Amino acid sequence: MSWWSSPIDRAVNDGGATDTYFPRLDPVTFAARGVVPMAQAAFAFVLGVALGLVIRRTLPAMATPLVVYAAVQMTRQQVRTATPDR
């Protein structure tokens, strides 16, 4: 996902217009660039496999990781927005 944003980053670093620039560590930008989407997908997959091995029933084993993953993401977002900027 980062390859498409490299021209934008270069333009901003070279003194281009910054009125549409998002900081790289902005929560929305951070979650959509680099290795973060792959890490989130890997976490969701491992969580689903682990809960599937424990629950051993098809429908609950599919629904539980979805609920747990959504709860983890919401908690992460709450912690990130509650933490003061440095």
**Structure confidence at residue 84 (pLDDT):** 72
**Structure confidence at residue 16 (pLDDT):** 58
For residue range 13-67, list pLDDT tens digits in order: 776 555 555 666 666 667 777 788 889 999 999 999 999 999 999 999 999 999 9
Residue of higher predicted confidence among 75 and 80: 75
Residue of higher predicted confidence among 25 and 10: 10
| CA-angle at 84, arms to 76 and 11, nearest 5° | 85
**Structure confidence at residue 14 (pLDDT):** 73
* Residue 17 CB neighbour total at 10 angstroms: 8
**Structure confidence at residue 67 (pLDDT):** 97
Distance between CA 44 and CA 71 in Å, rounded?
A: 12
